[in-house]
Structure 1
């Protein structure tokens, strides 16, 4: 009978089965994207032209370079994460190109100047995002490394989040929201990067103060309520969320940050009381904001009845609902609908574009891809061996799923419209770069979780069972006397 010993999981072979499976899935994703380009260009009457082939070729090179980087610096990583993102990103490029062509044709018919191509800009941002993805894999060889800079990340995230609120409107306001930093010919949305930095800070803080959130507290109605001083992080996040909601008019980011932090606190403690307290605090803050600020009331009124203000504030969501209704079950087909009639159909309302041209079936397939991405992210978080990795991976995976819920809920009138973009699909450089950082961290966590830990410096002694131990009879007269 052998003694019980912990047997660590065995690592996958470097460059073996996981990476080959990832390569095959990436090739399949590229084939689907090529078919989508062919269907779209055939429907628009342009055919598979040189611009489409160049875009597809450059994107293919980007994907292969990214795959080689994962094979080199994270050989044991989950082979499903990258192909899911490749397919989502590629479909986004196709849809943005499709709306570009419709806008160019409308400009020609009206005798106006031809607008620049946003799809080419998005392709550039895609390349930069994948380059940043590779840089994160190289610079973060161990997923626990960001924990050393937790407070620095938290401070940097708060500064990045609050800068647009402090800048004059001409340097920060776009379409009524102060969430940008605008330069001459260049713009950036710092909140997208602040999201990642705040998740790292919260994960590091919860690990460092784990006992305060899991042990201390008072029992009330079967729940363990935290002490008032332990509520400081949640109170701080609530305050920052309300500040962003009020001064930057960014309801979406408030929901995203607050929901993600609340989920991470529940993951860390397992206490339902945190969820109830957090939801109560956010509800009180939302009611106060509704009573004091007009732009919050406008969002709620449009959500309740967008057709009452069809020609003003409700026009965007009404057109989005009309488009998804036109798509029906199977959609109008790529290139055969009119998604360009919906304002911001490349950014906030790209879900409406999917619903119109790919129908409910296509939209369900896209949501399934996001579900797979989130589930595999949670799986990596669960299988890693340290608390920080579990919280960081869980927070990153939840942020993607929660952002998608907020976007789809706003477009379908389930919740008030928030102005967030769909990860990896909507047009926008800041969102794409930040989401590729999230993907790199998830792949790093999955690689570390699937790899065997380093062997101990000293061999672990095997203690034989007590039944097999040697015994010896000692006479009573040889034992020491009591004093």
Structure 2
């Protein structure tokens, strides 16, 4: 541990090291996962190493080294683990998508690599432009309004698109874009800024019920507003996943800001009340829940009321067992949208439960490092923002993998960094850039204080007194 006299960061116990060398070493290991997985797919499916392995590996290496260089230059004290974890997840996802492409004659992996390139460019741009995350607090209400506009865009006639029963897309020429992926990042910033300003009012004690301090009625406005927004997404866009994600995200940040369990109780009651009402009033919600509760009864059922995707995914998990069938040994293409919604089922089938647990460990590590960033952040806005960004990753992984494994009803979200989807991948890279910026600010040593020369100050004061006389 390095100590510097007069440096207040040393008085707190230690000074964070930069650890960029450790990050580079871990990136090499992560690159091995991506390139090795791509080579294993070629050997397992086609019996030979893909002929473009050098170009593919070189492009991945250039992206990762470029991201590392940007972090080293503009965020030298940032967490050294997040970027390698993200690189490993993204590389594994590309390999699995390539495997499914070979089975279905698609080019999704090539498109995903393009979106990864865009994501890394935006990752670098975010770090280069945003030198202090606290600047974002000035745009709290602007970002909140923009997020609401983005959430409403898919229901507008002309640009909104209905894909697979959910109206969460907008069409821009030949491209489709999911504005909710951008909205969730903007909402984290808006929530963090709002809660920093109003946490004292929201934390005031209300009525005590069964040893729990419930919030005052007049303070329920924010949570009621988010409840209504979530129900609106569920009703008009038929998107159960985004509804759960946005409401859960706000409830998490509200609890962290106020440290009052009463908000969790109120939010939980509102969530179950809204979910029950949606089940009774809306047919698409009822079908989703019924196929979750009784998947084998709806297997091979009529279109719109079947559970084929869920059951085929469960079959894939069962066939893969502990160590999987190996790339090329399974048949993940039997499951619809195996490259996006059900990519975890594809991993479970060909790489086994061992690989599924390894992926969960990587996600857990990413969330843990994000929460550690929140703990050590020196400002309230940074703490809440890092908590919200960690919540995005954690809630999305829980909702997706919970649906694939039949823990909860299917929701239609994508698994961050793994699943095919440009909007999700680009937004996820920006999330990591924001986390690294907050981490750099939190781990960076405070500027050293100049030693005070008491004798010189006394002499200066004496001179001032003489002059005044």
Provide Cα deviations, 1:116-148, integer angstroms capped at 9, x if missing partner. Answer: x11111000000000000111112111211111
Following superposition, the deviation at residue 229 of structure 1 comes to 2.0
Matched, 1:135 2:125: yes
Report the Cα distance in structure 1 between the residues aligned to 2:199 and 2:13, rounded to whole angstroms.
26
CA contact (8 A) 2:323 2:352 kept: yes
What is the match of residue 284 of structure 1? 273
Question: SS at 1:306's partner residue?
Answer: coil
What is the match of residue 250 of structure 1? 239
Following superposition, the deviation at residue 47 of structure 1 comes to 1.5
The residue correspondences of 1:269-418 to structure 2 (distance < 5 A) are: 269-312=258-301, 313-418=306-411
Matched, 1:60 2:53: no
CA contact (8 A) 1:93 1:119 kept: yes
What is the match of residue 231 of structure 1? 220
Q: Which moved more, 1:183-192 or 1:372-381?
A: 183-192
| Aligned with residue 207 of structure 1, among 189, 196, 201 | 196
CA contact (8 A) 2:34 2:94 kept: no
What is the match of residue 48 of structure 1? 49
CA contact (8 A) 1:181 1:187 kept: yes
Report the Cα distance in structure 1 between the residues aligned to 2:325 and 2:26, rounded to whole angstroms.
28
Report the Cα distance in structure 2 between the residues aligned to 1:95 and 1:403, rounded to whole angstroms.
20
Following superposition, the deviation at residue 46 of structure 1 comes to 4.6
Following superposition, the deviation at residue 184 of structure 1 comes to 2.7
Runs of 5+ in structure 1 lacking a partner? 105-114, 462-483
- The count of residues paired between Structure 1 and Structure 2 equals 446
CA contact (8 A) 2:140 2:193 kept: yes
Report the Cα distance in structure 1 between the residues aligned to 2:448 and 2:206, rounded to whole angstroms.
40
What is the match of residue 457 of structure 2? none
CA contact (8 A) 1:260 1:395 kept: yes
Question: SS at 1:444's partner residue?
Answer: helix
Runs of 5+ in structure 2 lacking a partner? 1-7, 455-469
Question: In terms of Rg, which structure is larger?
Answer: 1
Following superposition, the deviation at residue 38 of structure 1 comes to 2.1
CA contact (8 A) 1:174 1:180 kept: yes
CA RMSD of aligned residues (A): 2.1
Following superposition, the deviation at residue 92 of structure 1 comes to 0.3
Question: SS at 2:80's partner residue?
Answer: coil
| Aligned with residue 429 of structure 2, among 426, 436, 455 | 436
Report the Cα distance in structure 1 between the residues aligned to 2:358 and 2:416, rounded to whole angstroms.
15
What is the match of residue 255 of structure 2? 266
Report the Cα distance in structure 1 between the residues aligned to 2:51 and 2:125, rounded to whole angstroms.
31
Distance 1:86 1:205, change over 3 A: same
CA contact (8 A) 1:137 1:441 kept: yes
| Structure 1 stretches of 4+ moved >3 Å | 8-13, 454-461
Question: SS at 2:48's partner residue?
Answer: coil
TM-score by length of structure 2 reads 0.91
Following superposition, the deviation at residue 33 of structure 1 comes to 2.2
Following superposition, the deviation at residue 369 of structure 1 comes to 0.3
